Amino acid sequence: MSEPSARALAPGLTHAKSVTVTADLTPAHLRGDPIRVLATPEMIRLVEQTAIECVAPHLAPGQTTVGTRVDIAHLAATPEGMTVTVTVELTDVDRRRLGFRVAVRDELDEVARGTHERFVVDAAQRLPRLQEKVARWKAR
């Protein structure tokens, strides 16, 4: 597997993404409540998307990243209709392991903070391993 470019993927790289909280980003089991809020799993999905977007332009052709760790405290509720901004900063590059600092804010408050880790993978190497695992599972 080729290594990602050390110069391109360096600590300090940042990316931000803003999203308006819509009904589909709220917990299904609470959608009958008078005020619906951003669901934690949806916030984590937004963090992962933002980290992917941060590094994607700096990867070699055929490479992508997969999430391997999330450690994020969800500190405040964001009601439907408000905008959240997710900001990630690449803080650590150790060969193929990428570490990020994460901050999430809405229009009034700090919503979340923590860390996220991703791993650079080559699609050509990943697919055969997944196919082999599916074959083992189906053969049980």
- Which residues are catalytically annotated? 40, 48, 74
Kindly state the tokens that stand for 128: 């055969």
Q: Is 28 helix (H, G, I), strand (E, B) or coil?
A: helix
Alpha-carbon distance of 19 to 90, in angstroms, equals 21
The label of the residue with tokens 């600092």 reads 101
Kindly state the tokens that stand for 73: 């405290």
